[in-house]
Amino acid sequence: MKPFLSVIIPTLNEEKFLPKLLDSLAVQQVKDFEVIVVDGSSKDRTVELAKKYVSKIPSLHVLVSKTPSLPLQRNMGARAAKGEWLAFVDADSILLPYFMERIRIFIQESKPKLFSTWAKVDSDLVNDAIFTLLTNIYWEAAVLFKRPAAPGPLTVVRADVFRSVDGYDETHAFNEDVDLGLRLAARGVILSMARETLYVWSMRRIRRESKMKIMNQYILSMLPILLFKRPFKHMPGYIMGGHMYAKKKKIRSTMLKTYERKLRELMHELFD
C-alpha cells in the first residue's frame, strides 16, 4: 500500500547518530510510513548500518549519491518517495515514539501544506534548553508574521506542493531550506507549526562552533533575504557531515583570509 508519509534522511558519515534516529522510527506507534536514507558516499559504516535496519523497518530504502550535497540528496529521496507527505529529517535528530500519530492528527485537523513541530534539546544543559526555546519561538514568529520558512532540522511538506517548486535548489550549499521557504511562499504556501514537542534536535554543530558564531552566521545570512529576498548559497566554514564532529580542528592562521574571500564571493553572487 502507498505510505502516508515518506521520511527522507540525508547522511554523510553519520554512523554514530543515524542508528539513534532509525531506532526512534522503528518504535513508532503508527507504521504507515516509509524511510529513505540517501547517503552522500560516506567513508564510514553509515550505509552498512542503515541496511541492517531493514529487519526492523521493512519500508526502509537506502540510496547512495556519488556527490555529497544536502539539497541533492533530499531531492533524490523525494523522487523515490511514494508518500503523500514528505518529512525531511536531519540524521542527528530523534523522533519521539508518537511522532507519526500526532502529525497525522495535525494534518487531518489543520489541513497544512507545509509545517514543522517544536523541538527539545539533546542535553540537560540549561543554556541549551534556553537556546532551543528561542529557536521554537523564532519559528512561531515566522508563522505569526507569515514569513517564508522551511525549518532545516524538520520540514514536513505535501509531496505535490514540494514538487510544484521542483524541490530544493541543488546549487545551494547553505540556506537551501530558506530558499525553499521563499519559493513556496511565492505560491502562497506558508509555514504552520504543530504546537507539540515531537522530536529531539542535535546541537552538536552549535557546541562545536559556539552559539555566538552560529548566531553571527545566521544574522549575516538574513541580510540578503531582508534586502533582496535572495539567500546566500554558501557560508564560510559551513561543511556537511558527521565526520566534522569527531574532533575539534585547530583554527588555522589562514581562516581570516578564507573568510574574507568567501564573503567577497557571497556579495558578488548577490549582484550577479
pLDDT tens digits along 136-156: 998 899 899 888 888 989 999
* pLDDT (mean) for 1-27: 96
**Size (the chain), residues:** 272
Position 146 in a domain: yes
- What is the torsion angle, in degrees rounded to the nearest 10, for the CA atoms of residue 13, residue 15, residue 20 and residue 23? 110
Q: What is the pTM of this model?
A: 0.83
Burial environment of residue 160 by CB neighbours within 10 A (0 to 12, 13 to 18, 19 or more): exposed
Q: Which residue has the cell 549582484?
A: 271
Owning domain of residue 10: 5-209
Position 121 in a domain: yes
Residue 24 has pLDDT above 60, yes or no: yes
Residue 205: per-residue pLDDT: 76
More confident: 268 or 114 = 114
Residue 225: per-residue pLDDT: 58
Residue type, 253: S
Residue 174 has pLDDT above 90, yes or no: no
Residue 224: per-residue pLDDT: 55
Residue 249: per-residue pLDDT: 47
Position 220 in a domain: no
Confidence of residue 258 (pLDDT cuts 50, 70, 90): low
Confidence of residue 189 (pLDDT cuts 50, 70, 90): very high
Radius of gyration of the chain (CA): 18
Residue 147: per-residue pLDDT: 82
Residue 250: per-residue pLDDT: 43
Residue type, 2: K
Is-contact 3 59, C-beta < 8 A? yes
Position 232 in a domain: no
Task: Name the residue among 138, 142, 123 with its Cα closest to residue 191.
Answer: 142
Residue 255: per-residue pLDDT: 47
Position 64 in a domain: yes
Q: What is the pLDDT of residues 201-223, one digit of tens each?
A: 998 877 776 656 666 656 565 65
Confidence of residue 4 (pLDDT cuts 50, 70, 90): very high
Position 149 in a domain: yes
Distance of CA 67 to the CA centre of its chain: 18
Residue 260 has pLDDT above 60, yes or no: no
Considering Cα of 8, then 10, then 14, then 15, what sign does the dihedral take?
A: positive
252 contact partners, CB below 8 Å, separation of at least 6: none
The winner for highest mean pLDDT among 164-168, 177-181, 214-218 is 164-168
The average confidence (pLDDT) of the chain is 86
Q: What is the DSSP string of the chain?
A: ---SEEEEEEESS-TTTHHHHHHHHHT-S---EEEEEEE---SSSHHHHHHHGGGT-TTEEEEE-SS--HHHHHHHHHHH--SSEEEEE-TT-EE-TTHHHHHHHHHHHH--SEEEEEEEESS--HHHHHHHHHHHHHHHHHHHTT-----SSEEEEEHHHHHHTTSS-TT-SS-HHHHHHHHHHTTT---EEEEEEEEEE--HHHHHH-HHHHHHHHHHHHHHHHHHS---S--TT---SGGGGSSPPPPPTTHHHHHHHHHHHHHHHHT-
Considering Cα of 203, then 222, then 179, then 64, what sign does the dihedral take?
A: negative
Position 15 in a domain: yes
| Structural domain count, the chain | 1
Position 179 in a domain: yes
CATH code of the domain in which 145 resides? 3.90.550.10
| For the chain, percent of residues with pLDDT exceeding 70 | 76
More confident: 208 or 110 = 110
Residue 114: per-residue pLDDT: 97
Residue 233 has pLDDT above 70, yes or no: no
* pLDDT (mean) for 181-201: 95
Residue 148: per-residue pLDDT: 83
